[in-house]
Each structure stands twice: as C-alpha cells, then as structure tokens.
Amino acid sequence: MTRRAPIALLAAFILTLGACTRNAHPELLAEVDVLLRRADSLKQLVDTIDLATYDHMDSVFRGQRTALEELLKDTLAKEQAVPIGNYYRAMDRSLGRVRKEIPGLRAELERSRTQLTDLRHDIGRDRLPEGPRTTYLQQERLMLDQLEKGVTTVTRSAGTCQREWQARHRAIAELLAPPDTTP
C-alpha cells in the first residue's frame, strides 16, 4: 500500500500539469497562428529582395544622374524623352524607396513576430483578461495590415526598378557615353 501512494501522487501530479498547460482560448490561438503565418510570409517576401543588387543600381544611377538631368533639360523628341524620364523617375524614386524602407520593414516584421509569439504565449496560458487580450490582438492585426501595405509598396517599387533597369540601362549608358573619337 505504501508503494501505491507515491504512484497515485505522481499520476495526480502529471494530470494536474496537463490541466495547467491546456490552451485556454483555442479560437484566439488559431487567429494568432494565422497572423504569425502572415508575418512570416511578409518577411519571406522582403527577404527575396537582394539589397546588393539595388545598391549597385543606385551606384550606377548616381553616376548618371547629373548627365540625365542635363539631357532632360534639352529639347528632346517625345519618343526619346519618355523612356529617359521613366528610367530617371524609377531610379530616383522607386530605387530610393526600396533602399530606404527595406531595413525598417525587416525590423518591424521581426518585432511584430515577437509580439505575436508573446501574445500567443499569454493567451495560451490565460494570462490576459478579456479586454486587453482582444485589444492586443486587434493592434497586432492592424500593425500587420500596415506592414503588408509597406511590403506591397516596396515590392512594387523593386519590380519597377528591375523592369526599367533591364529595359533601359544599356541604352541610357550608351546615350550618356562620350562619343568615340577613334578614327
């Protein structure tokens, strides 16, 4: 009989531990899991943008910028001015946006993921009262909505840069090259 008492106590202790670790709000946990997957997806999108490529584009464009500005001041035929203007605008605005906003987006997505992980833990352990639990969940949802808009803007800007670079970089470089004076 003395052997059964420790076994019974151990079984009761294990059952008590199991009851303490049950998830208090499975529907909210499922919603947080969806938000975590969304944050991961956005981070993967941002991570596909190779900043070294855009740094190279920026370096080349900085060398071309003054000459392009001078060329655009001249009277050009519309069919020549439009592609040059499109290239200039893409490299000036879109490229700057990509290079400037990517590091901030990465940091914000990481912070959002950490917040969501902490929120999941707190909801799962029933450590938050109803009001704050709902408020925090709404705040994280809104933050992810804003981050998604930022990621969409940056990925579109990156696409614009890539298209303009591939379509016009060589022609612009040839146009700006000094004339060949070799006989």
Tell me the average confidence (pLDDT) per consecutive run of 10 residues in the chain, 183 residues long: 58 55 78 96 96 96 92 82 92 96 97 96 89 92 97 97 94 81 65
| pLDDT tens profile 54-90 | 999 999 999 999 999 988 888 678 888 889 999 999 9
- b/e per residue, 52-65, with b = 16+ CB within 10 A? eebeebbeebeebe
C-alpha to C-alpha distance for 55 and 58, rounded to whole angstroms: 5
